[in-house]
Structure 1
């Protein structure tokens, strides 16, 4: 079994690299991320779980668009401080792979619907170019590029993003599978993730090292990676055994913070959001409707009408969704930090939305992965992450190409 060196770009809190860390033959030499809470959580995880004592040096908090400085180092930046840069950090070590997923909001269908310009002018459409600059500089054997299925239909500036990406990758000296739509879309629920979550996983192989790249990639996607599939996991599998958090008879304050529910210190991050009495009654109503089998609030139309009845507001999309015990969860999104109404706990007795720990479990983070930022930041980084259970399977599968 060989040893493989990698760097993680757009690392977030480390969901993608977590799976590689679990395989003893992968060494994460560096990670790049620009958001401070994510960096703090990633460093904490690397130190406390993986005993990487120089994690604060290995994790570079910086803007990848400033690629020259990222590589050569920067000093006394008002936002990012100082760092020696990737070149000195890597110290001419052979890099076997680069992994990462540029921010996906600008590629997502939902994001394009919400933005009046369809996110055509969003800078995040072009961050893959910065990613590829790093690939070109260090020339790994292969790279992994993760993103949302919406990228397959995105057209920033009127040009399909897949054409832009393929051209950039080819010019950089790498091959990717010809038919991304057929082969690179992966349903993560088939790999033990208790959640409906589809992602595009693009693998690039260096042309000079893989003369039969198309054949090897097709074999990887159609025959090898599917060997790691497992039976569908459900919300029940993921969160049923967590301590129950029940509505309080009246709200309480602890250290100035309001609580509407009991909470547990048995498991880290298992503290519910504060909910109004109105919302608690609504959550109970919706969960009881499912438990009883009555199904009054199953359709989108009935849920929209209920929302209007309760709030006096109208919405083009239904705001409420109760998780189903015996099915995978709906997708855990980054905007869960703003709104938990589409992730209501299925137990009517608890009458609440899901906690940070429940979101983490649905994303397959282990309970010893403690999130140390505000609840809002924690929800956001969990929703943006690659589920570690899938990334571990991906890491093991990639060994056939390394």
Structure 2
């Protein structure tokens, strides 16, 4: 006998949806094979088919903000219209994870739908923390919201709603330093010189004890003691990339520096090295084979005008910028704020910044683990969404029980 469930949660990839218009999505309600019209949209359509087949009480969907403006389509609004036609009350919003206790400024579209038989409205979870986001996030949000002016439901109001405001009386957002400073330091240049950091596979089978910490902060305590995912006495995935050319560059960057600053600093290192060798008696003319070989050992080859955001050194006093699945290919987007360590973040540090508890196990090796982390919904954000949804559903159940009790009581007088 099949088991019923109340909530369907998912994040179908947003790929090749520019041609998936509103009319095609509406076909789902009447044509179960609609996804065959555009194979690239299969997972997206399949998600709605699961709603059709399973008829859950509530639906939660997560995706990137660009889902609100993807190739001229507000796909979130179109999904909401399909769900509304199936009898759901639906709302979607843009939530930033930093407002929900995650030490990362990660903006995501969250859609919540509850069947009209279970709720008359949908509430978006209230923030638990406060932060004044950098100006760049308002620009990104404005682009995502550009299409909202022309798409409304039957009542003349968008299914979109603004995220609840955060009060300055709330605890401040968790900073990168608060999230990862308790983890064992990895001094990359020293490890490279000692031969303990080498090229090759990075396994997760080496136990690294926690340093002694007199009084872990609230976030660290949660990460170490999350029920069912306790960290134990050591961690096993505190590994970093082998980047021998770049550790010296990382050491010289300032917080917030990006690739143009890194490239200029690397050129200054090259000039200093050339000067030293010339002072020692070498000719080393610019453009010679020796000069070119030395430059390749010191200066990254990317055009600084074309890759301005490829690198970034984290700030210790604020949440990290968005972690991407691209961490599976390189770690330059999140260079550790500690110049003495002079390295990209480790797998466990990325997990901490995404709010994964220390006992959570990532399968495979370093690259797949980084991708798993970068693709994930931050657990603390997911928890707040789940708690909010549970409160709404439980409150509705209680109200229905009270109505039933009153009806039965009235009929027996």
Once the 2 structures are TM-superposed, how far is the Cα of residue 348 of structure 1 from its aligned partner? 1.1
Q: Which residue of 1 aligns with 2:181?
A: 240
Seen in structure 2, the aligned counterparts of structure 1 residues 263 and 190 have a Cα distance that, compared at 3 Å, is same
Query: Which structure features the higher share of strand residues?
Result: 1
Q: Which residue of 2 aligns with 1:20?
A: none
Q: Which residue of 2 aligns with 1:4?
A: none
Q: Which runs of 5+ in 1 are unaligned?
A: 1-90, 109-120, 291-296
Q: Which residue of 2 aligns with 1:188?
A: 97
Q: Please give the per-residue CA displacement for 1:368-397, whole angstroms capped at 9, x wherever unaligned.
A: 112131111100011111111121122111
Once the 2 structures are TM-superposed, how far is the Cα of residue 336 of structure 1 from its aligned partner? 0.6
Q: Which residue of 1 aligns with 2:343?
A: 352
Q: TM-score, normalization: structure 1?
A: 0.61
Structure 1 stretch 243-252 or stretch 267-276: which is displaced more? 243-252
Q: Which residue of 2 aligns with 1:131?
A: 47
Q: Which residue of 1 aligns with 2:359?
A: 368
Once the 2 structures are TM-superposed, how far is the Cα of residue 217 of structure 1 from its aligned partner? 3.9
Superposition pairs for residues 51-66 of structure 1, below 5 Å? none
Which secondary structure state, in structure 2, belongs to the residue aligned with residue 399 of structure 1? helix
Determine the C-alpha separation between the residues in 1 that align with 2:83 and 2:198: 53
Determine the C-alpha separation between the residues in 1 that align with 2:372 and 2:82: 28
Q: Please give the per-residue CA displacement for 1:85-143, whole angstroms capped at 9, x wherever unaligned.
A: xxxxxx343321111111246689xxxxxxxxxxxx99665522111111111111111
Seen in structure 2, the aligned counterparts of structure 1 residues 334 and 367 have a Cα distance that, compared at 3 Å, is same
Q: Please give the per-residue CA displacement for 1:279-304, whole angstroms capped at 9, x wherever unaligned.
A: 11111111xx34xxxxxx84765346
Once the 2 structures are TM-superposed, how far is the Cα of residue 164 of structure 1 from its aligned partner? 3.3
For the 8 Å contact 1:307–1:314, the answer to whether it is kept is no
Seen in structure 2, the aligned counterparts of structure 1 residues 308 and 196 have a Cα distance that, compared at 3 Å, is farther
Find runs of 4+ consecutive structure 1 residues off by over 4 angstroms: 104-108, 121-126, 218-230, 252-259, 303-309
Which of 2, 5, 10 is matched with 1:100 structurally? Answer: 10
Q: TM-score, normalization: structure 2?
A: 0.59
For the 8 Å contact 1:191–1:229, the answer to whether it is kept is no
Q: Which residue of 2 aligns with 1:377?
A: 368
Structure 1 residue 173 corresponds to structure 2 residue 87 = yes
Q: Please give the per-residue CA displacement for 1:251-309, whole angstroms capped at 9, x wherever unaligned.
A: 357896589xx993631200111121x211111111xx34xxxxxx8476534655788
Which secondary structure state, in structure 1, belongs to the residue aligned with residue 83 of structure 2? helix
Structure 1 residue 148 corresponds to structure 2 residue 64 = yes
Determine the C-alpha separation between the residues in 2 that align with 1:100 and 1:370: 21
Determine the C-alpha separation between the residues in 2 that align with 1:350 and 1:263: 20
Q: Which residue of 1 aligns with 2:195?
A: 251
Q: Which residue of 2 aligns with 1:314?
A: 303
Q: Which residue of 2 aligns with 1:18?
A: none
For the 8 Å contact 1:307–1:313, the answer to whether it is kept is no
For the 8 Å contact 2:258–2:311, the answer to whether it is kept is no
Determine the C-alpha separation between the residues in 2 that align with 1:253 and 1:231: 37
Q: Which runs of 5+ in 2 are unaligned?
A: 19-36, 127-160, 210-233, 269-298, 394-413
